Structure 1
Amino acid sequence: MTRLPSSHLRTTRTTTVRAAALLASAATVVVGVQAGTAGADTRYDAAAQREAGATALVLTGSQRAAAVQEAQAGATTTARALGLSGREKLVVRDVVKDADGTVHTRFERTYDGLPVLGGDLVVHRKKSGAHSATKATGARISVPTTTAAVPAAAAGKAALASGENQAENPTSTRKVIWAATGRPTLAWETVVTGLQHDGTPSERHVVTDATTGKELYSYEAVATGTGHTQYSGQVTLGTAPSYTLTDTARGGHKTYDLKGATSGTGTLFTNTTDIWGNGLATHRETAAADAHYGAAVTWDFYKNELGRNGIRGDGAAAYSRVHYGNAYVNAFWSDSCFCMTYGDGAGNARPLTSLDVAGHEMTHGLTSATAGLRYSKESGGLNEATSDILGTSVEFYAANAADTGDYLIGEKIDIRGNGTPLRYMDKPSRDGSSADYWSSSLGRLDVHHSSGPANHFFFLLAEGSGARTVNGVSYNSPTYDNSTLTGIGREKAYKIWYKALSTYMTSSTTYAGARTATLSAATDLYGAGSAEYNAVAAAWAAVNVK
């Protein structure tokens, strides 16, 4: 099989990640959290009130900046309240405010000024003043010395030697504390750039023990998977009055033409009219129209359904690049450019710009901006599943007659050339590689295949088990425990998943941690003991996560 990039939408690839050990489940410290069970006569009214109260508020860029500044001003007090040592400091990365006054603040941690990788945590403060915290690690952050025995240059050389990609160069090395896989260790983090085997840019992060020179961990940071569009028909596009593909209503999102290049920003699409493309891949504007439309729908879904103002929540848009390389059969997200990039597919005839692919790629950016699920083992599978779950939700949200919503991933782009989708959410093993259920060996699978149980969980939670037809597509979803489940609906299911992602998951969350996170989210939205809470627990049991 062709080797594919580690963080793309593709299903067949050889992993480039070398992890020393399975990442630990997120440890949770709870202080003063109260949860009640609604009575039978008031359950639905109470659930509706809870959902409204726990729904995230849409913050403008300036409101979010003020919230971050306020949280940072109190970071020293927060660190002391959490029992952190005087050598540790907290740096605010994200703030989510709920309608009921609860504030979820996501922090990165430093130790003697060094970044602590795997030390991230979220503090939940209720309006009443009650606190709880979700930590990526429960380990005490401490190392014997911050003086490295192994020089940075030696760590960079070792990182370069460990790679299999093309034309690699170590671009930066920084001293860190590695805390993601057990005992905190002084280490070097080296970023090695180059090209993956299919021409995708590579930003490989390698963590090296600063005392022994042993590689502790590595991962790939490039995350993979009126216009006349190829996949969505005739749509309305947000464009600037000067007829450029600039969406002034959605953070200034722009779409560029790379013209076959594999680097740079490209050329902004400009026209003499406000009509873009003709629905055929041979017209360069057609792929641009699909990508621009996908970005707009994803922005609207995040804002209207999830209460998030853009990928980072700051009102700023990413940008899109189309026509990457020659016959490039992939699409990818990169944090370094804060952008989506799309190839034109086999024979340059099937651009990877379908709606669910666009939602999938942008959700890699969302995951990076929130939980930061590390792209390896179980957390990597959850990262991929998050992109599938929210990408699918974007497709349903669009309600586009030319690309109706379904629980099939990448069904429009026909990468395999036989009309089959990349992945199936109702029974993931239908693709021949993905797992339907959790097992202790799940973390050894490619992250696109270890995503299976979470995708299966989402389908069961939304739709239920057994045979059914949705928008003309037939599904038949089994359960590990032979249980019969009734779904709670897509909207409730994706709101629970997003709240878990944005407020309870951390960089090291495993499947067991995801179960805890989604149950916490269901409690916030619908109440402990509610029908929705019980449905979440049952859906996880149905994929063997208990």
Structure 2
Amino acid sequence: MRKQYSAAALLLLGTLASTTAQAQDASRIQAKVVGADNQPELVQFNAAGKASYKASEAAQVLRQQLGLTSDDQLRPARTELDQLGFTHQKFSQYYKGVRVEHADYNVHAKGGAIESISGDFEKIAGLNTTPALNEATALSRALAKVGARKYMWQDPAEEAGLKQQENDQAATYLPKGELVIVRDRRISADNAPLVLAWKFNVYAQQPVSRAYIYIDARTGKVVLQDNIIKHVAATGSFATKYSGTVSSATETATGGYRLRELTRGLGIETYNARKGNSYTTAVDFIDADNSWTEYNNANFDNAALDAHWGAQSTYDYFKNVHARNSYNNAGAKIKSYVHFDDTPGDGVGFENAYWNGSVMTYGDGASRFDPLTSLDVAAHEIGHAVCSSTANLTYANESGALNEGFSDIWGACVEYYKAPTKATWLIGEDIDKVRPSLRSMSNPNAEGQPDTYKGTSWAPTSTAPSNANDQGGVHTNSGVLNHWFYILSVGKAGTNDIGSAYSVTGIGIDAAAKIAYRTESVYLTASSNYAAARTYSIQSATDLYGAGSAQVTAVTNAWYAVGVGAAAGGTTPPPTGTPTYCTSKGTSQAYEWIDLVNLGTINRTSAKDAGYYNGTALSTSIAAGSSQTIRFSAAFTSTAYTENWKIYIDYNKNGLFTDAGELVVSGSSASAATLSGTFTVPTTARTGATRLRVILSDNAATTSCNTYSYGETEDYTVNITGGAAIAGGTYSLTGGDSMPLGNELARGLEVYPNPATDAVRLVLPGNAEATSVVLTDVRGVRIAGATYSNGTLNISGLAKGMYTLSVSDGQKVFHQRFVKQ
């Protein structure tokens, strides 16, 4: 029976709003990006004052912006809250009650106000939703397409294993048909017609495959195959085969210890498929003393140690770096099966590794590959699971290339995170016996991939995707996304295949990964292409680092470098050489300024410096690996306001302060006394002169690249000795009445925009409700001419000038200043 939805749970479409309403709506739009189908992919709104939309108005916004009719519905799918405080409402499109496959739309809000909407909406009119073909006939057509010798539901042991795994006695691999609306990919890759289709999840055992098969519900033709098992391009303290001796969690068992553990989510488990193709008959690897040193044998059992450690490492990376709890963000168990063979007994090893939609599967390799359990391959495949739980990019043509590319990105990131001495920018270098690697992110052409959109080695996407053409070149055209990420991380200058000269300053792999993760997990939808990836990565960089930031510029220029879109400002970025640092300056020093900076031989006391002081002629030497103490203080005209201190060192000398560990001191204090911060210089910091930046600002949101309202920035030079490249550091803030790093900033009041004209939004820690809001002017006189409601303070009636807010959450009072323009 089809699930029924109440009126409250549906976003039912109405007719277009009146001309007056449209004019009012248009005044709220800051920017709009329209796709090739003339439908909006991204709409940004004014998020403050009278022009803002409330998050509760999502239905109205979607109806107006997408021009919904009475046949269209957008049904709520899920709501997520990210680390930036954004709430993302996810909606799935339906037409006359039938799911429109791969069409999803998202509403992004912060502080109760909608900031943007994004996604893919299909404009449909007059489509017949009554099938001419019944489910059974359609399934027979789907099975004829797959043509397997044996299917999973025909294996009683696998069926029993699924019931146990799902804890559901009704669970079965037997495909159940679902009516959907999908594009007929037999016609062309672009602008294919929408058809009513039966959708089946078909899992074959011999030969192994798993895919969503779509059968036209009127003609019985196969219109799309979306592979669930994604191949690694026709592939796929432990004494590991590929990563040396590592530490990895295990579990006690009869006879010793086994490759299982329960400390990460619902667990990490690794099994021995014993060169068979059955998951249910797999067994545990057992070691008597938990010192797994005897597994380097002719059977390559030590490859299982790589798989187990790889799964744990990938879990740790997503949890510690992106706050994601396993691939589904709900702690899902990660199960890996090693020594898998799709055709047991044929004497040929299985040269593949894949995520089958539920578990990890690794072959032992043959002529091309060694066992396919290397760290980057494990992270790549689990990356597919992350994608299926986020953007769910369709595995064909450009969306499929993005799917593969993001998995390569996570392979590189996890390898850099856990094994930085490995070749970060090569994929599969540990397992490939014939080539230097399976793919190269730094030089895609070396392995037959394009480094430019539709450039050299680009695989055609105009024909219907199939296994014969690698689903429209998904493993080939992913090179463009790979190279974009490489350029964004480390920088590059040159001329691409379409004749565009470029020069990009890298922002470091950590910042690039944050942008890539937000792009995939927040903005991309199933049918996204390269143009959409560019739009949404720029938006992600804006969310994370601010409009006009060095990161936004780098993202834009990296896309230009690989042939997607224009460079920042519409021109070729300037050539690079000696690092040019971004501007950081306080607009006013009427109330506070930096009066002391002391690190080693740098010891400067000063009066006001007009918002910025270039002290790079002053320098001191600091040794890689050493612990350092920096002292600093603020001067105040009268009242000692709470001020925010941020101190950066450009350890990798790339002209940015956004790489891991480069924010060496951060915290806040309302004291004029001398404060101190301690930090450890990374042992891998680059030797030589680099920039030290000290920022004092009244605004906690101030970053390394800002022109902010009140305070000062001072730059100095530090000479690093005995170093090489970048790594992280430890740091803390002590002194006066300040608190350790993390406490004070985590407890701060956010006030934005600042300066403001009509309204400011107030966000308390933990999104707590404000119980009182008091506004005073520079004289300390209480002002009654502003009203506060739903997180927004209306200041349209105030005179221009500076004001102080005192906001209470019922337990603590927070103070912050802002400027009315």
The answer for the alignment partner of 2:764 in structure 1 is none
The answer for the alignment partner of 1:490 in structure 2 is 509
- Do 2:148 and 2:204's aligned partners in 1 also have CA atoms closer than 8 Å? yes
More strand by share: 2
The answer for the alignment partner of 2:181 in structure 1 is 177
Q: After the TM superposition, which residues 291-330 of structure 1 pair with which residues of structure 2 at under 5 Å, given as runs?
A: 291-325=307-341, 327-330=349-352
In 1: Cα distance, 2:44 partner to 2:506 partner: 32
Which letter maps to 1:123?
V
Q: After the TM superposition, which residues 33-432 of structure 1 pair with which residues of structure 2 at under 5 Å, given as runs?
A: 33=46, 78-79=58-59, 81-83=61-63, 90=74, 93=77, 95-137=79-121, 139-141=122-124, 144-163=127-146, 166-167=149-150, 171-178=175-182, 184-195=194-205, 199=207, 201-225=208-232, 226-242=237-253, 243-251=257-265, 252-265=267-280, 266-278=282-294, 280-282=296-298, 285-325=301-341, 327-335=349-357, 338-346=358-366, 350-399=370-419, 401=421, 404-414=422-432, 417-431=433-447
Which letter maps to 1:186?
L
More helix by share: 1
Query: Aligned with 1:258: secondary structure?
Result: strand
In 2: Cα distance, 1:384 partner to 1:513 partner: 16
| % same residue | 36
Asked whether 1:449 is paired with 2:514, we answer no
In 2: Cα distance, 1:480 partner to 1:355 partner: 36
How many angstroms does 1:80 deviate by?
5.6
- Do 1:281 and 1:351's aligned partners in 2 also have CA atoms closer than 8 Å? no
The answer for the alignment partner of 2:541 in structure 1 is 522
The answer for the alignment partner of 1:500 in structure 2 is 519
Which letter maps to 2:392?
G
How many angstroms does 1:507 deviate by?
0.3
Judged with a 3 Å threshold, the aligned counterparts in structure 2 of structure 1 residues 33 and 365 are, in CA distance, closer, same or farther, namely farther
In 2: Cα distance, 1:230 partner to 1:378 partner: 35
Judged with a 3 Å threshold, the aligned counterparts in structure 2 of structure 1 residues 33 and 102 are, in CA distance, closer, same or farther, namely farther
What CA RMSD, in Å, does the superposition of the two structures yield over aligned residues?
3.1
How many angstroms does 1:88 deviate by?
5.3
In 2: Cα distance, 1:210 partner to 1:483 partner: 49
Which letter maps to 1:492?
A
Judged with a 3 Å threshold, the aligned counterparts in structure 2 of structure 1 residues 278 and 443 are, in CA distance, closer, same or farther, namely farther
How many angstroms does 1:427 deviate by?
1.8
In 2: Cα distance, 1:162 partner to 1:273 partner: 50
In 2: Cα distance, 1:398 partner to 1:477 partner: 32
Larger Rg: 2
How many angstroms does 1:206 deviate by?
2.2
Judged with a 3 Å threshold, the aligned counterparts in structure 2 of structure 1 residues 241 and 214 are, in CA distance, closer, same or farther, namely closer
- Do 2:47 and 2:113's aligned partners in 1 also have CA atoms closer than 8 Å? no
Query: Aligned with 1:254: secondary structure?
Result: strand
1:284-307 deviations in whole A, cap 9, x for unaligned? Answer: 641221111001111111011112
- Do 1:32 and 1:131's aligned partners in 2 also have CA atoms closer than 8 Å? yes
In 2: Cα distance, 1:143 partner to 1:183 partner: 13
The answer for the alignment partner of 2:43 in structure 1 is 30
How many angstroms does 1:259 deviate by?
0.8
TM-score between the two structures when normalised by the length of structure 1: 0.78
Higher RCO by CA contacts (8 Å cutoff, separation 6 or greater): 1
1:100-138 deviations in whole A, cap 9, x for unaligned? Answer: 42112333334454332122222212114124222223x
Query: Aligned with 1:223: secondary structure?
Result: coil
How many angstroms does 1:270 deviate by?
3.3
In 2: Cα distance, 1:82 partner to 1:215 partner: 33
Which letter maps to 1:412?
D
Judged with a 3 Å threshold, the aligned counterparts in structure 2 of structure 1 residues 442 and 346 are, in CA distance, closer, same or farther, namely closer
In 2: Cα distance, 1:106 partner to 1:235 partner: 40
Judged with a 3 Å threshold, the aligned counterparts in structure 2 of structure 1 residues 354 and 430 are, in CA distance, closer, same or farther, namely same
Query: Aligned with 2:399: secondary structure?
Result: helix
Query: Aligned with 1:148: secondary structure?
Result: coil
1:22-68 deviations in whole A, cap 9, x for unaligned? Answer: 99798424252559xxxxxxxxxxxxxxxxxxxxxxxxxxxxxxxxx
1:291-347 deviations in whole A, cap 9, x for unaligned? Answer: 110011111110111121110001222211111016111100011xx2111111117
How many angstroms does 1:156 deviate by?
2.4
In 1: Cα distance, 2:95 partner to 2:332 partner: 31
In 1: Cα distance, 2:124 partner to 2:497 partner: 43
- How many residues get paired? 467
Query: Aligned with 1:304: secondary structure?
Result: helix
Which letter maps to 2:100?
V
The answer for the alignment partner of 2:488 in structure 1 is 461
How many angstroms does 1:171 deviate by?
3.2
Query: Aligned with 1:190: secondary structure?
Result: strand
In 2: Cα distance, 1:481 partner to 1:435 partner: 15
Judged with a 3 Å threshold, the aligned counterparts in structure 2 of structure 1 residues 110 and 247 are, in CA distance, closer, same or farther, namely farther
